[in-house]
A = this chain, B = another copy of it.
Amino acid sequence: MADGRSTLVHSGENLLFLTDEQLRQSMEAMFFAYRGFTADPDRILSDMAYGRAHHRAIYFINRAPGTTVNNLLNILGVTKQSLNRVLRTLIEDGLVESNVGKVDKRERHLFLTKSGHELEQTLSDAQRARMRMAFRDAGPEAVSGFRHVLEAMMDREMRAAYKRLRDT
């Protein structure tokens, strides 16, 4: 521990060494698990002309209906130009509706259409099913730990965005 490269902590009756090797394994777990996390939606979307960016947009528009483009930008962490391309195709294809703001006409308020909702359901169902299985397999205490670690791993601004969404 003197070199700050490892941390010894107590876990129930067991000692858990947070050596570089342990951290390395966790990084790999994160890498492979995220692949699994996105695998099902990716598969579904690849059949259509859409990708992961479309999924994210649809997801968060569903989560916060009426959100503005700028708000979505902050959540997604991309440039407005990048998001715009995705939004344009979604609007053209009739999955998303963009309404000019009543108070501030510069703003566009985004909503999912009926077919937009349907796609969102399909994608989220697949992703939720995998997560539900993983949670069932790991058990409730593991889930709570999982959530805790993830939250601690976020950047400060992202944690804020996360909590803002969560407390909705």
Contact = CB atoms under 8 A, between A and B. Distances in A.
B144 A11 contact: yes
A26 B131 contact: yes
Contact of A128 (B27, B32, B124, B136): B27
B131 A27 contact: yes
B33 A128 contact: no
Number of copies of this chain that the complex holds: 2
B145 A24 contact: no
Contact of A150 (B29, B56, B139, B151): B29
Given A30-B34, A128-B27, A141-B12, A149 B152 contact: no
Q: Is the interface of A mostly helix, strand, loop or mixed?
A: helix
Given A32-B159, A148-B138, A7 B132 contact: yes
A150 B135 CA distance: 9
A47 interface: no
Interface of A: 7, 9-12, 16, 18, 20, 23-37, 39, 56, 63, 77, 124, 127-128, 130-155, 158-159, 161-162, 165-166
